[in-house]
Structure formats: C-alpha cells, structure tokens
Amino acid sequence: MSPSNTQLPPRAKAGSKPQSKVPQKKKKKSPFKTFLKFMLIVIILVVLAVVGYGVSVYMKAENTVLETGNDNPVAPEASAKVKPLTMLLLGSDYRPKTGTHLTDVMMVAALNPDTKSATVISIPRDTLIELDGYVPSKANSYYPKFLSQEKNSGLVATDEMKTMFSKYMDVPIDYATVINFQGFSDVVDSLDGVNVNINMDMCYIDNADGTNINLKQGPAKLQGEDALGYVRYRKSSSGCKPRTKESDDFSRNQRQNEVLHSLIDRMQTLGGVTRLGSVLDAVADNMETDLENAQLRNVIATYWNISKENVKFMPVTGTWRSPYVYVDNGELDKAKQALKDEIAGKSVEAVDGADTTNP
C-alpha cells in the first residue's frame, strides 16, 4: 500500500499539525481488523501444521520461521511457558514496488499461558498519537521515521515502537513482530491461489505503486496479487473504463473473510499440507521479530492448540477528522484494562460486541 494510494484515507505530510477536535460521527471499524486476523490465523495454521504433521516438517519450520529470531538465551522464569507475554504486531505496507514502511496495522497482544488465552487490541492507523517526548503524528508514521533514524541514532526501530506503545497502552511490551503485505500475496501463491465468488466488477489502477485491480464478477480462482487487490478494493480510478462501483467497509470485511475461509480450506487439504514448506518460506521472508529462537519454540509449545474462542479481538474506534482519527478515550481505557486483565489471568469480554469467535 502506497502513501499516495487513494484507496485509503489521505495521509498528512510529516510534521503537519493536528486540527481541532470537532465531534464527528463514529468512524467505522477498520477493515484491517479482519485483515490482520487473517494474517494471524494463517500463522496459527502454520504452527498447527508444524506440530501436527511430523518431525521433518518441524525441521523445515526451524530452518525458516524460527530463524527470524535470535540466539539469545531465555531465562526459565521468562519462558512463554510460564510467563504472560505482550507483543506489538505491526503490519507494514511494504512491497518491493513501493519500498514504504507505513504500519497500516498496529495491534498489541497479551498472551497468558495459564489460561491459554490472548487479548489483541487494534489501533486505527490514522490515530493521532500525542505523548510526551514525541512529535504529534499519525500512529502509522512512526515506524518509518524510526527506521530512517536508526543509522544515526543507533536505536532499533522496533525497540522504539515498543517503548512508544508501552507508554500509549500503559503496559510493558516484551516483543515486536513486523509482517509486510507482500507476505499476503506470497502465502496465497504458496497455496496455489484462493477460490472466491466476485460479486461485482472491480477496477483500480495506480501507476505510482503498480496497483492494477481488474476483476470480473463471478466465480474465480485468484493468485496472490489479484487476491490482494480483491481484499483491498475500495473504489474505481479515473483510468478505468467503465468505472466500477465503490465498496464499503462491510463489503471489504466480507471479502476478507471469504479469502480467509478459502485459505483455511486449502491448508486443511492434503495439497495444503504438502505445500507447508513454501507457506513457511512466505512467512519467514516477510516477517521480522525480536523473539529469541528459544522463546519462539516456547510460544509454539504453549499456544499451538489455543482455541480461537480464547482469542479476543478488541478494536479501538474513534472519530475521523481529516487527516486524523481521534480515538474514543473510553474505549482506549477499556483496551488498556483488557491487556492488564489478560496478563493477570482474568477473563474479559470484547468491547462493542466485537466478534471473537468468527474470523
């Protein structure tokens, strides 16, 4: 996803000043909530397959996903087997054609080994962050700024993000994982595509980032780039003749769920199992994490059979006044408390009736 992509709400220039907080109608839940649920469930499926389909496949996992961590030791008392962990999950818009690193998905997850449960809080990408020591800006703009400063500051961008979000969410964050959207296309390709039923023609052309969505109504098997366009489509561009209808958040969520279900079906077939190695490669090539290798093994051993009913997704919503989202402080406070309750082993329900059982 490119900063210039008009499929998304406009992004302010770096350093622009926040505008006055004028009450607006409630912003719709972000379509990225479902999108990252998709990414997380794909990874969970990979882990399930690793555990369930033999030593040779597990060795393949060790040579791909597990190499994304580091070899630092993990103290027994810090093991994910006994200690609740918190993790910052970032979905970067990076693709080779764009080279950008805006974090259009930002989630803070807390996992508890005693209850075998997790709480995942999603933050809208355009959230105005106002914290002492930081220039007020959109939440998704900080990671690329920290990346550009790494060479001179000597500070790792993911460490800087952990520090900032620890302050913002009022909980210490142990680890950070960055997944880029190229991984979406690669995972779809590794499973030889997804079967969908396109409910209308879709056309969008953006020469700046190479986006070329041209999908026709009807049943179709989509490969990676087309599947990415299918779940991203918002509206038609001027280069499309004829123009196609716009798509709202609800329709995008339905398409993302449709793709998710198709991927699950393919993963559960024998063909999906035999392609597990390429799925793991797709994840490994598009993911960075500061989890130690030993800790990643601890996480797999502890949470490989986590029930999706025990994974609670809580989106923080707000009001939109271009170019910012002003989050609802009441929801943000509930989200902070939910993370603390998860760490403490207390049960908590998702806010605003968010669906915690269906992808």
325 CB-near residues (< 8 Å, 6+ apart): 27, 124, 125, 126, 127, 128, 318, 319
Fold match, 31-184+275-343 / 192-267: no
Among 66-75, 174-183, 345-354, name the one with the lowest average pLDDT. Answer: 345-354
Lowest mean per-residue pLDDT among 9-18, 154-163, 312-321: 9-18
Q: Where are the domains of the chain?
A: 31-184+275-343, 192-267
Strand, coil or helix: 35: helix
Any idea how long the chain is?
A: 359
pLDDT in tens, 172-209: 999 998 878 777 788 889 888 999 999 999 999 877 66
Cα torsion through 22, 323, 243, 181, rounded to 10: -130
Higher pLDDT, 262 or 269: 262
Peptide bond into 242 cis (omega under 30): yes
Q: In what helix (H) or strand (E) does residue 146 lie, and over which residues does it extend?
A: helix 142-153
Q: How much is the pLDDT for 155? A: 95
Residue owning tokens 């953006």: 206
CATH tag, 192-267: 3.40.630.190
Comparing 276 with 213, the larger pLDDT belongs to 213
Cα(89)–Cα(107) distance, rounded to whole angstroms? 5
- pLDDT value for 208: 67
pLDDT at 258: 81
What is the arithmetic mean of pLDDT over 300-329?
Answer: 81
d(CA 5, CA 23): 27
pLDDT of residue 98: 73
Between 30 and 149, the higher pLDDT residue: 149
Beta strands 137-138 and 128-129: pairing type? Answer: antiparallel
What's the rounded Cα separation, in Å, for the pair 115 and 356? 16
Whether cis (ω within 30° of 0) applies to the bond prior to 76 is: no
Choose the most confident range, by mean pLDDT, from 20-29, 98-107, 318-327: 318-327
Q: pTM for the whole thing?
A: 0.69
Decide which of 3.40.50.720, 2.70.150.10, 3.30.420.590, 3.30.470.20 is the CATH code for 31-184+275-343: 3.30.420.590
